Amino acid sequence: MRTFNFNVTMRESASGHRRITDGSNWYRLATRLARKGCVKLVMNSKTFAGYGSSYDVGYTNYNFSVTELPGNFN
């Protein structure tokens, strides 16, 4: 079983709007494969990265691991 780690940076506004600013392609691919049952997606860590130009916007870093499940990628 192979494992791949990647980072995602998410921007969240005070009104609750969320947008991935970095790592969106890896996250989208991993969630798609996890829904199909090909991989296991695990969030390893979540850390606050700081505020934007004002306190209305905050950035959070996430670290994910994707592990392939046996028999799916032969």
pTM: 0.87
- CATH class for the domain made up of 3-68: alpha beta
pLDDT digits (tens, 9 = 90+) for 4-63: 999 999 999 999 999 999 999 999 999 999 999 999 999 999 999 999 988 899 999 999
DSSP 43-60: EEEEEEEEE-SSTTEEEE
pLDDT at 54: 86
Q: Which of 35, 33, 24 is nearest to 62 (CA)?
A: 24
Instruction: Name the CA dihedral angle for 12, 10, 62, 56, rounded to a multiple of 10 degrees.
Output: -30
Domain ranges of the chain: 3-68
Cα angle, residue 41 at apex, residues 17 and 31 outer, rounded to 5°: 55
What's the distance, Cα to Cα, between the start and end of the chain in Å? 11
pLDDT at 74: 64
